[in-house]
Structure 1
Amino acid sequence: MSQPTDVTHRSVSSPAGRIHLVEQGAGPLVLLVHGFPESWYSWRHQLPVLAAAGYRAVAMDVRGYGRSSKPANVAAYRMLDLVEDNVAVVRALGEETAVIVGHDWGATIAASSALVRPEVFRAVGLLSVPYAPPGGPRPSEVFAHMGGDEEFYVSYFQEPERAEAEIEPDVRGWLAGFYAAFSADTMPAAPDPHFVSRGGKLRDRFPAGRLPAWLSADDLDVYAGEFERTGMTGALNRYRNMDRDWADLAAFHGAPITQPSLFVGGALDASTTWLSDAIRAYPTTLPGLVSSHLLDGCGHWIQQERRAEVNEILTGWLASLPA
């Protein structure tokens, strides 16, 4: 398996209980936060490169994933609790501040961390999901009106045990299809895999029989092995807190992130095309933006699909930051 060979695995205390970390290198701390449905392993190509560039690179299993704690209460996965997990990680590592970089849900967690705890997170890098300030209509109301006769995947994930019943009988096959559905070289032209036909399942629209180029069978085994061991509920509970987050972050509605920032998205990723207005608003919402990149021909799993390009962008941006 293509895991870095000289990383250190450890766990630290957080409000959730324990957070599992993978660490490589020494120097200024860079905290890497994964998205759904992944783990620290999503950063396997970045850890050695950041370490070689002189950084203390730390990839975490987010609360509910991998070898981190998995509280039973759905509300324990609200954004403010995940922010405090990140602060606890920084403190447990003996640091006062860190650069935080996130992908997918991890990008939103990273952005929220920078927004809520700017004294801890001195810079923020966002991969795939642009920053949009908290606020606007209640999320559940927005998602309920998307897709017409079809159901948006975020709405599909809301009901406890519903998505679990689809995924858990065949975790490996479901993950393979989900990763392929949003990868540049395997994504279907139609129908849109972000939506579910009434009475259907999300996997009905996944491509079958082919892994994307970035994902080896061994890589898939790593991801599948973690979710086969833990189940999917901890990961899915993040989606089940979006209305709570909307209320919890009311004091930050419309607020910009002023720290130095970075955005990297895939030109073929719906996260960047649907949220193109958010990217255009960066002069207002990310006034500290150092650089913004849209990678042609790239899908959603950006740091794995385009590892060399993303590594070059990340290390260049990190080198530009004040000490």
Structure 2
Amino acid sequence: MPQPVHATSTDVTHRLVPAPAGRIHVAEQGTGPLVLLVHGFPECWYSWRHQLPALAAAGYRAVAVDVRGYGRSSRPEGVESYRMLELVEDNVAVVEALGERDAVIVGHDWGATIAATSALLRPDVFRAVGLLSVPYTPPGGPKPSEVFAGMGGPEEFYVSYFQEPGRAEAEIEPDVRGWLAGFYAALSADTMPGPGAPDPHFVTPGGTLRERFPADRLPAWLDESDLDVYAGEFERTGLTGALNRYRNMDRDWADLAGHGGAPVTQPSLFLGGALDPSTTWLADAIAAYPTTLPGLTSSHLLDGCGHWLQQERPQETNRLLTEWLDAL
């Protein structure tokens, strides 16, 4: 099987562009229609290293951002600076700073939610949207913190654990590299805990998430040099900016109340991993796509794939992504 092409530093142009966050770091490759790539937690622009050259070769201007709080982008003070409305404004500012009027936006994990909300709020800028791993769920419904607090019985759902400022940081900061390696392994198809093993999405009373992570093994998609990139970024920046996304879910719920139940109507793509809890827990959201994503033109669950879709299955992701883009 041919190996996926890595984006090397000589192929990719890095720069900082002005945005409401202060600055947003972008990694860019290729020319043509703009495709904006938005990563999730705990990642950075490097999560799209396999997509940048593939999209460039297919005739697109591929631009991967560091979301505010991550990498070389600004890290504003204050938890409320990481609410969804501000992240949407950052994306609009990036498109404008690149001299473009519109873009296709593609996101993974939290980036999928950021991409979907960007498309919902600014259809004038984002003409199509691709969602990887996390399905679209329209704004509305019960208050998120109350939903998460009711999950897990005596154990605590990881989102609730992340929502308390400083708490997850205290677990992660002593060994950022080791924690990241375990987190990536816990959600990868080839290293995730087997059926019947304790679920790594939940924390025991007084415990830590890391207690349930696989130890001493990396997933096949992540080699030591890749881990060096992620660990190096988070050892420099800390995790607070990244975790602040989770700490704004109730604010987002209030901010977007006027859009309750709203569909995203632009042409859309969904790619999920069949072994990813994001797709099994949110199966009802996928089933609702005829109503919530009426412009959906491509939807695929990749067998035997976990959460880190575009890194676990780069060639398949690149093929499906470029086929969808070419058909727009």
> Does residue 153 in structure 1 map to residue 158 in structure 2?
yes
Q: 2:235 aligns with which of 218, 225, 228?
A: 228
Could you tell me whether the CA contact under 8 Å between 2:7 and 2:52 is conserved in 1? no
Task: Look up the equivalent residue of 1:14 and give its one-letter code.
Answer: A
Which residue in the other structure is 2:214 paired with? 207
Name the CA distance, whole Å, in 1 between partners of 2:98 and 2:163.
35
Could you tell me whether the CA contact under 8 Å between 2:7 and 2:53 is conserved in 1? no
> Does residue 296 in structure 1 map to residue 303 in structure 2?
yes
- Higher mean alpha-carbon deviation, 5-14 vs 178-187, is at 5-14
Number of equivalenced pairs: 321
> Does residue 259 in structure 1 map to residue 269 in structure 2?
no
> Does residue 317 in structure 1 map to residue 324 in structure 2?
yes
Name the CA distance, whole Å, in 2 between partners of 1:161 and 1:304.
29
Task: Look up the SS of the partner of 1:157 in the other structure.
Answer: helix
Which residue in the other structure is 1:46 paired with? 51
**Gapped regions of structure 2 (runs ≥ 5):** 1-5
The alpha-carbon deviation at position 317 of structure 1 amounts to 0.1
Q: What per-residue deviation string (whole Å, max 9, x for no partner) do you get for residues 248-296 of structure 1?
A: 0011110000000000000000000000000000000000000100000
Q: 2:115 aligns with which of 90, 96, 110?
A: 110
Q: What per-residue deviation string (whole Å, max 9, x for no partner) do you get for residues 139-180 of structure 1?
A: 000000000010000000011110000001100000000000
Name the CA distance, whole Å, in 1 between partners of 2:29 and 2:315.
18
Name the CA distance, whole Å, in 2 between partners of 1:46 and 1:231.
26
Name the CA distance, whole Å, in 2 between partners of 1:14 and 1:239.
21
Task: Look up the equivalent residue of 1:30 and give its one-letter code.
Answer: V
TM-score, normalization: structure 2? 0.97
> Does residue 97 in structure 1 map to residue 105 in structure 2?
no
Name the CA distance, whole Å, in 2 between partners of 1:304 and 1:125.
16
What do you get for the CA RMSD once the two structures are aligned?
Answer: 0.9
Task: Look up the SS of the partner of 1:165 in the other structure.
Answer: helix
> 1:34-183 counterparts in 2 under 5 A?
34-183=39-188
The alpha-carbon deviation at position 206 of structure 1 amounts to 0.1
The alpha-carbon deviation at position 3 of structure 1 amounts to 4.3
Identical pairs, percent: 82
Q: What per-residue deviation string (whole Å, max 9, x for no partner) do you get for residues 62-100 of structure 1?
A: 000000000111000000000000000000000010000
Task: Look up the equivalent residue of 2:265 and give its one-letter code.
Answer: T
Name the CA distance, whole Å, in 1 between partners of 2:278 and 2:104.
23
Name the CA distance, whole Å, in 1 between partners of 2:7 and 2:322.
20
Name the CA distance, whole Å, in 1 between partners of 2:170 and 2:263.
39
The alpha-carbon deviation at position 203 of structure 1 amounts to 0.2
Could you tell me whether the CA contact under 8 Å between 2:120 and 2:263 is conserved in 1? yes
TM-score, normalization: structure 1? 0.99
Name the CA distance, whole Å, in 1 between partners of 2:258 and 2:127.
21
Name the CA distance, whole Å, in 1 between partners of 2:275 and 2:306.
5
Moved over 6 A (4+): none
Task: Look up the equivalent residue of 2:42 and give its one-letter code.
Answer: P
**Gapped regions of structure 1 (runs ≥ 5):** none
Task: Look up the equivalent residue of 2:173 and give its one-letter code.
Answer: E
Which residue in the other structure is 2:3 paired with? none
Name the CA distance, whole Å, in 2 between partners of 1:138 and 1:26.
42
Task: Look up the equivalent residue of 2:313 and give its one-letter code.
Answer: R
The alpha-carbon deviation at position 301 of structure 1 amounts to 0.1
